[in-house]
Amino acid sequence: MADPLRLGVAGLGTVGAGLVRIVQRNARLVEARGGRRVIISAVCARSRGKDRNLDLDGHGWEDDPVALARRDDVDVFVELMGGGEGPAKASVEAAIAAGKHVVTANKALLAEHGHALALAAEEARVALRFEAAVAGGIPIVKALSESLAGNEITRVLGVMNGTCNYILTRMWDAGLPYETVFEEASDLGYLEADPTLDVGGIDAAHKLALLVSIAFGERVKFDGIEIEGIERVSIDDIKQAADMGYRIKLLGVARRSGNGVEARMSPCLVPEGSPLGQLPGATNMVVVEGDSVNQIVLRGPGAGEGPTASAVMGDIVDIARNLVAPVFGQPAETLAEPIRIRGATPTPFYLRMTIADRPGALAKVAHALGEAGVSINRMRQYRHSEPHAPVLIMTHDCVPADLDRAIESLAVTGVVEGDPVAFRVEEV
């Protein structure tokens, strides 16, 4: 019988605790499927005395995750601390240097340092796996790198942050403004310690950066992703989009176009009846389109103890089976240098603005748009009180550069109050 696969688990928060429970609860099942017993040799966390409702008897303890990564009785270092720098980065580097396999749920670390870590892991002939870093319990990393390996991927899109989807869904369901639902999400513990990581789109963009690398065979490049959060989405936007048959989602979209890849994380309108439009609460969904498979949709819980720990354990079982594959689906040294392009694919845009309620104002708006090459599909003016009128415009297909010029022109018409709000319409 094969020797046990010995884990060193760094981080005993929600996910780390969930992993310990899976190892203890499903030991026989894991052994049957992986072909080896999986045991925990030692753990590491910030506080040794904290009550975690876990049985840690028989497990070693390290105060320093780097020391844990180097222990002789650890075969797989499981990094569940989080953070793109500091102890997480140092301990993962130490584990690879010591010839240990690594499993992590740390999207920030991989989005910033994934290529260097992949080169090091592949040179050391150890696994570096990260299914839990993207979309929680949804096996999207495995799907892209293994099941869809024979496809030329044309587009990847999805909802990758459950907190933002909860906020936008709740705004629609309850008719509540963004500020109220934001406070609800905070009280429920849905938000990161720094809320801008969630509502600012940064957390989701980290995940998109990893998917782009696998889907398009590129080095991970986080700073090449256009990012806009949901802070400017108002309850009026939610209602008016619904009135036209759309829902607003924080959507990550990556597609190959021309000589590069367009990658962005931003609020978008999606058809209400589409899988993404129907996505409720804190659920995640990723849609992949390929030349052979056409389109597949993966949906599931994007966070939480059980789903994320399940994804971590899936990676561990693969290592128990001696499956050591390239980190991003192909050898890291063959990954292409990323070329990012902005808005090469024309799409309709939703445009909301407030204009002066006087004769000729709408004509000036239409003229500014037309001069920039933006054609109006439909326009609505809602009930209002003088002297300002809210106006909603849906454009025909246009590229962002033309819309940017149009918005600059609107600013000097003398009839537009404040900054217009523009969201892309993404057909699914």
Domain with CATH 3.30.70.260 in the chain: 349-425
Which of the four pLDDT bands, split at 50, 70 and 90, describes residue 384?
low
CB 297 within 8 A of CB 285: yes
pLDDT above 90 covers a percentage of the chain that reads: 75
pLDDT at 389: 83
pLDDT at residue 39, as a whole number: 95
Give the model confidence (pLDDT) of 189-240 as tens digits.
787 778 899 999 999 999 999 999 999 999 999 988 999 999 999 999 999 9
The residue-averaged pLDDT of 366-375 equals 92
Please tell us whether the domain made up of 5-133 is placed in CATH 1.10.10.60.
no
Phi first, then psi: what are they for 308, rounded to 5°?
-70, -40
The CATH code for residues 140-302 is 3.30.360.10
* 118 and 269 Cβ atoms separated by less than 8 Å: no
Q: What stretches of 137-225 adopt beta strand conformation (E)? A: 153-159
In the DSSP assignment, the letter for residue 78 is E
pTM: 0.92
Where in the sequence of the chain do the CATH 3.40.50.720 domains occur?
5-133
Intervals of CATH 3.30.360.10 along the chain: 140-302
Q: Comparing 382 with 217, which gets the higher pLDDT? A: 217
pLDDT for residue 55: 83
For 31-64, the pLDDT digits (tens) are: 999 999 999 999 999 888 787 888 888 899 999 9
Q: Provide the H-helix boundaries in 71-148.
A: 86-97, 107-124, 140-142
Question: HSE of 231 in the Cβ direction (CA atoms, 13 Å)?
Answer: 11
Question: Long-range pairs for 91-94 at CB < 8 Å and ≥24 separation?
Answer: 91/10, 91/65, 91/66, 92/117, 92/128, 93/117, 93/120, 94/66, 94/69, 94/70
What spatial distance separates the first Cα and last Cα of the chain, rounded to whole Å? 50
**Catalytic residue ranges:** 207
Q: Are 249 and 168 in contact (CB under 8 A)?
A: yes
Q: Tokens for 150?
A: 């024979």
What size, in residues, is the chain? 428
How far apart are the C-alpha atoms of 414 and 136, rounded to whole Å? 48
Domain 349-425 belongs in CATH node 3.30.70.260:
yes
Q: Tell me the residue type at 253.
A: V
Q: Are 98 and 69 in contact (CB under 8 A)?
A: yes
Q: Look at residue 153 in the predicted model and tell me its pLDDT.
A: 96
Q: What is the tens place of the pLDDT at every residue in 130-169?
A: 999 998 889 999 999 999 999 999 999 999 999 999 999 9
**Cβ-based neighbours of 186, under 8 Å, separated by 6 or more:** 195
